[in-house]
C-alpha cells in the first residue's frame, strides 16, 4: 500500500486527523482530559460535562466538537428537551481484544485499537494526576522501563502480562465478595499494562561516552 493510502486508512472516520494525531490532541488539554475520563465511564450531555469540569458551556462545546471531529468521542443518544436536541456523548474505547482477534486485523485496524486504548488510559492517568489522586494514594505504583530480550523473551513477557491481568481480575472478584458481606464502599483503581516494541532500536540509545557505557537497560518507578 502507498504511503498516501496508509495515511488515509489511519484517519478516523470523517476526521482530518490520523489516529496518532487524534490521540495526541485529545490528551493535550486539561479540559479534554477530564472530559474523556468522565466519558470513559458513562455517557453525558454537554451541560453535565460543563458542570462536572467546572467550565463555561461554550468552552466545553468547543472541545466536544473537536473530540467528535477526531473520532475520540461519539454521540450515543439524542434526546428532545424543550423541543431542542440534546446529545449524549461517550468516549470511543475498545474492550479487551484477544491476541487471536488482534492478529486477524490489518495494521491500520490495529493502530485504531491501540490508539484508543492509549487515549483512555492516558486520559485516566493525567486526570488523576491533575486531581492529586496519584500523590494522595499510599498504594500508588507507577513504573516503566525498557528491556532487551530475544524472541522467546518477548513471548514470555506477553504471557506474564496476561497472567498479571487475570490475577487483578481475581482480586476484584474477591473484593466484590467482601464488599457484599460488609457493605463496604468501592475505590476505583486504574491498572494499566503496556508492553510494546520501543520506537528506538537498541543501538540508537548508545553513546561513545564512557559515562553512558552499559546503559542499554533502564527502569524507573515508584
Distance between CA 152 and CA 82 in Å, rounded?
A: 62
For 110-169, what is each residue's pLDDT tens digit? Answer: 999 999 999 999 999 999 999 999 999 999 999 999 999 999 999 999 999 999 999 999
In the prediction, which pLDDT does 41 show? 94
Percent of the chain having pLDDT more than 70? Answer: 86
Three-state secondary structure call for residue 18? strand
Q: Are strands 143-146 and 73-81 parallel, antiparallel or unpaired?
A: unpaired
For 195-211, what is each residue's pLDDT tens digit? Answer: 999 998 876 655 444 44
Q: What is the dihedral of CA 13, 18, 21, 25, to 10 degrees?
A: -10
80 bridge partner residues: 85
Amino acid at each position: 500500500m502507498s504511503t498516501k493510502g496508509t495515511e488515509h486508512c489511519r484517519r478516523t472516520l470523517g476526521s482530518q486527523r490520523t489516529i496518532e494525531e487524534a490521540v495526541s490532541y485529545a490528551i493535550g488539554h486539561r479540559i479534554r482530559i477530564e472530559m474523556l475520563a468522565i466519558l470513559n465511564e458513562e455517557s453525558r450531555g454537554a451541560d453535565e460535562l460543563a458542570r462536572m469540569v467546572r467550565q463555561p458551556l461554550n468552552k466545553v462545546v468547543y472541545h466536544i466538537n473537536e473530540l467528535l471531529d477526531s473520532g475520540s468521542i461519539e454521540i450515543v443518544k439524542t434526546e428532545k428537551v424543550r423541543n431542542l436536541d440534546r446529545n449524549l456523548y461517550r468516549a470511543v474505547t475498545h474492550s479487551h481484544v484477544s491476541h487471536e482477534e488482534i492478529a486477524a486485523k490489518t495494521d491500520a485496524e490495529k493502530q485504531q485499537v491501540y490508539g484508543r486504548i492509549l487515549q483512555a488510559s492516558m486520559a485516566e492517568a493525567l486526570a488523576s494526576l491533575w486531581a492529586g489522586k496519584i500523590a494522595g494514594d499510599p498504594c500508588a505504583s507507577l513504573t516503566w522501563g525498557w528491556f532487551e530480550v530475544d524472541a522467546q523473551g518477548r513471548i514470555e513477557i506477553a504471557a506474564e502480562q496476561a497472567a498479571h491481568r487475570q490475577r487483578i481480575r481475581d482480586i476484584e472478584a474477591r473484593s466484590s465478595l467482601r464488599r457484599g458481606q460488609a457493605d463496604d464502599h468501592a475505590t476505583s483503581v486504574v491498572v494499566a499494562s503496556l508492553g510494546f516494541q520501543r520506537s528506538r532500536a537498541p543501538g540508537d540509545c548508545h553513546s561513545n561516552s564512557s559515562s553512558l557505557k552499559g546503559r542499554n537497560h533502564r527502569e524507573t518507578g515508584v
